[in-house]
Structure 1
Amino acid sequence: MKEITEDEVLSAIRENPMICTRALVKKLRPEEFRDQEAYKEYLCAL
């Protein structure tokens, strides 16, 4: 997975201050999180 930068996160939060972590990741890297299982695998790998 391509690393999400601090600038990307801050920009997304400025656009939508109430965004949750999962939605933030899906917004910034939609091609890497096509389904719930891929997201869970990513979280477990952290």
Structure 2
Amino acid sequence: MNGTENHIHILIHLHPSVSLANLIKDIKLASSDFIKRENLFPKFTGW
């Protein structure tokens, strides 16, 4: 995992049974929860 101030890069191995859309959905849900729980960006409302 690597990042800059406005985006990140993630290198993964995706199993054929996992859809890319579901992976992105899970990443967005988890990261939104973390950002809100830790109050990292007070005005953040979600992706």
Q: Establish whether TM, by shorter chain, passes 0.5.
A: no
By percentage of residues, which structure has more strand? Answer: 2
Question: Max radius of gyration: which structure?
Answer: 2
By percentage of residues, which structure has more helix? Answer: 1
Q: Which has the higher contact order (CA 8 A, sep 6+)?
A: 1
Tell me the TM-score normalised to structure 1 length. Answer: 0.32
